Structure 1
Amino acid sequence: MESATRISFDQTQNLGSVYYIHPSDHSTLKLVTMPFNGTRFADWKRSIVISLVSKNKLAFVDGSLPKLEDNSSDLKAWERCNTMVIGWILTSLERTVAKNVMYYNTTRDVWINLEDKFGQSSSTQLYHIQEDLASLTQSGSNIAEYYTKAKALWDELDNVDPLFICSCNGCKCDTAKTICSSKKIKESSIS
């Protein structure tokens, strides 16, 4: 009688695995061009998320891959990747911000802490964006530059002051229709 042979595949060598680390990856790799200094969190967050998705490591941040049990065969790979992603995040933060999250053990904990401290929109942020929009003029810039500035401010405004999303089944309250209409009016006012 033949004995069943269990073939184990090393997930760290599988290009599609969340545990794969490319030979050029290291813990001090810079994923964003401008380190986060405590302002414009949404811009920094978007840049980091794009980088982490491209590296197949977003699962460490969004909580979909929590720390494995001590007896898991993939625990060492998880720890290595978790530490690598923490390094990437710390490298993308200015020193004073990094000090606040340096001693967390999981990437998820680092992320939650940053979200709690910097991810909350405030009326002050909203006011400054609205003020920037109100004072925006084309001046000497061409139409493409002007539109780019205006669009960036509108995108930032949408991020700081997100629109209400209707949750009724089949939208019987017409909230979605009203929101879409007002958004079209807002976008047409900058063109």
Structure 2
Amino acid sequence: MEMALLSKNKLGFVDGTIAVPNVGEVKYPYWKQCNNMVSTWIMRFSEANIFRISYLHAEIHQIRQGDLTVSAYFSKLKSLWDELQVIRPLPTCKCERVCNCGLLDTLQQHLESDNLLVFLRGLNETYASVQSQIMMTKPLPNIDEAFMMVQQQERRFNSGTTELLIQEAGIILLTQGNGSRSKKFYPNGNKKPICSYCGFTGHTTEKCYKKHGYPPGWKPRNRGVSYANQVQFASDEHPPGENGSLTLSQDEYRMLRQLSVDLKE
């Protein structure tokens, strides 16, 4: 607004450098006309801010994490909070003797608490446990501390996904080493699926009892064949094959080790 007034050579009507002439002077009607025009500009600018404030509030309360990472989601929220703070900052005490009742600190705490709740509410359902943990903390952590806690949980999720991808890659390498060329990576050409969760054949992850629970009255069957089809990985100190498990070639083992490093990076 100040830049707009300065470009029109009308800033003096606001900062007081242009004195108000007496009513009887010849230039008073011209001053009054310019002053009213400046007042109209200011009112329009204020109305534009009201619409922007309404939009920012709607965006802040409707935003959800969705496919965004925790960091990207938090950055998007923070940019909206910062813009709203610029357009409508918290009130400050302008009295000659500043009060010490703590009202302004309370207003700031309420604002930070509201932002924290908006951030937690917009997270995906996979973060429900850390949401409850943060909301039950007394006193509540600030928004930056809560962000770090949620981001730490995200790293744990990503670490689990990496381990699963490494396991699936090992199954593929072993299958290819056994001579199967099936596009679905079924070992030994028996057309049976491999569960990426437990490593057994004959079912997929969606129907895995070990992951979802065993049905009532379930009894284990002979598992000799199933165990033979599992992929067992040797430790970093010992190459595969020294512990009696199914083995990979040296090239396949090095490929799997490199895949593990790439995924974790």
TM-score normalised over the length of structure 1: 0.37
Which structure's CA Rg is the greater one? 2
Indicate the structure with greater helix content.
Answer: 2
Compare relative contact order (CA 8 Å, sep 6+) and give the higher one, 1 or 2: 1
